[in-house]
Chain A
Amino acid sequence: MNAVLRSEFLKLRTTRSVFGLLAGTVVLAGLALWGSLSSATPAELAAGLTAPFGYAGIVIIVMLFVMVLGIRSFTDEVRHGSIVPTFLATPKRLRVLAAKTTVSAAAAVVFAIAALAVGTGVVTVYLTAHGYAVPVAWGTMAWLFAKAIAITALWSAIGVSVGVVVRHQVAAIVGALAWLFVVENILGGLIPKIAAWLPGSAAGAAMGMGTVNPLVTPIVGMIVLVGWTVGGVALAATVLRRRDVV
């Protein structure tokens, strides 16, 4: 298992795309935060680092990028044909799935930490420049960061599963984005109480972005997200074991 993990980690390191995605995450997270700071009310700004304008937006951006990273973990190999030598080296395919999920989640943790660090820097600079105090509430921030990191790690694992099940890279990425931004929104309008349990909404609730369903508290949201992740990985495992590689 360690060998497969090392192999997957080496795969991640030896193309540049992961660094491009990381750079994109950090830059977009910084810009988005700067934007929301510009439109924040003085009362919000006075709340400092833990104000609601802050980290939720960053988490959404990191989620998008690590989802793409996770999807590409498998679909890149299908697209370029390297899935054949990968499965020849490791015919026990569930080991490959486990390694891909682990490595993608680990990368997601790095992405989240980088984006949160840049975000904290941007808020600090902005508030200081505008004459606000920057009180640091360590406990609150640690809790926020832990949640953000957990959510993005789970989200990357969901990305890996989507990639395994869909296989086609463009279809998987477009489909996943459409699900998150279109389908969940439409369902949220039609059946708001039920739609609150969907993965994107559950992640939002877990991050404290609010929910229309009082049952989906932040803790429940996190548990629901774990459930979606476990379900996704289980589905991917079933599909991967049965499907021929042609």
Chain B
Amino acid sequence: MQTGTKDRVRQLGSPAIVARRLTKRFGQMTAVDGLSFEAVPGKVTGFVGPNGAGKSTTLRMLLGLVEPDDGSATILGLPYASLEDPITVAGAVLEVQSFHPLRSGRNHLRVLAAASEIDDGRVDEVLEIVGMTAAARRKAGSYSLGMRQRLGLAAALLGDPSVLILDEPANGLDPHGIRWLRQTLRDLAAEGKAVLVSSHQLDEVARMADDVIVIDRGRVLRHGTLAELTGGGQTTLEDLFLDLTDGKGIR
């Protein structure tokens, strides 16, 4: 049934991630204000905005970690928390530090795999995919920032999901790591996955995204293909971004 759903989405090219009028208030502050967007299979969608624009809160609402005050978020047509075996549908990396430092990288993945009845063979596969096989049995607390990002991505890939949601995955990566990440995400999109990547590093987004969503103060400012947004290269994503966010840029 799960495979059936994935195939149908691939065939139709219908959106894999749908946010409708998502709203979240923290006290007086409205972090996300009626945000609507979609991300489709086979593409990398860049989700950009200044720090504090509401990117992380939005991603957390997509994943059922934060309850929206209004609106809805669905992944392959269902709210994340209603999915049976959710990590086989969507994988996510939200924070660089998401593991117990005394547990080995491999055991961290085994713990998550066990919760979804995924066998240890798949754990070794994803370690291979992210190039972490050699360091897999070391304590995760000893990993460099780049290795932590790779471990996070390995966790997201455990269930071979058709949707990937990544919050600032390029943070802290060195040039090798960034090139590796870009290529990996492009490859995953080429396999037909919907890849949603938040970032405030515009060069990076410009180099890997097919579609771009620009948000500020919890609202969508622009949503289109990279070519549409940059006028086929007449302007840069950076110029557009600074323009749209009142020249304030990254606050």
| Cα distance A11–B115 in the bound complex, in angstroms | 11
Using A89-B86, A244-B65, A245-B66 as known contacts, say yes or no to A80 and B97 having CB atoms under 8 A apart.
yes
Closest-CB distance, A6 to chain B (whole angstroms) = 5
In the complex, the chain A residue whose C-beta lies closest to that of B61 is A244
The contact size tier of chain B is: 20 to 34
> Across the interface, do A85 and B155 meet the contact criterion of CB distance under 8 Å?
yes
Query: In B113-136, which residues have CB < 8 Å from any A CB?
Result: 114-117
B83: chain A residues within 8 A (beta carbon): 91
Interface size on A, residues (CB 8 A): 28
A17: chain B residues within 8 A (beta carbon): 102
Out of B65, B101, B104, B112, name the residue touching A7 (CB < 8 Å). Answer: B112
Q: Is B80 engaged at the interface, CB distance under 8 Å to the other chain?
A: yes
Out of A14, A16, A82, name the residue touching B110 (CB < 8 Å). Answer: A14
Using A3-B117, A10-B107, A85-B155 as known contacts, say yes or no to A91 and B97 having CB atoms under 8 A apart.
no
A16: chain B residues within 8 A (beta carbon): 102
In the complex, the chain B residue whose C-beta lies closest to that of A6 is B114
Q: Is B206 engaged at the interface, CB distance under 8 Å to the other chain?
A: no
Query: In A160-179, which residues have CB < 8 Å from any B CB?
Result: none
Out of A4, A89, A245, name the residue touching B60 (CB < 8 Å). Answer: A245
Q: Is B103 engaged at the interface, CB distance under 8 Å to the other chain?
A: yes
| Cα distance A132–B97 in the bound complex, in angstroms | 58
> Across the interface, do A11 and B111 meet the contact criterion of CB distance under 8 Å?
yes
> Across the interface, do B103 and A15 meet the contact criterion of CB distance under 8 Å?
yes
Using A4-B115, A14-B104, A244-B65 as known contacts, say yes or no to A85 and B98 having CB atoms under 8 A apart.
yes
Q: Is A81 engaged at the interface, CB distance under 8 Å to the other chain?
A: yes
In the complex, the chain A residue whose C-beta lies closest to that of B100 is A80
B117: chain A residues within 8 A (beta carbon): 3
Closest-CB distance, B212 to chain A (whole angstroms) = 25
Interface positions of A (Cβ within 8 A of B)? 3-4, 6-7, 10-11, 14-17, 76-77, 80-82, 84-92, 242, 244-246
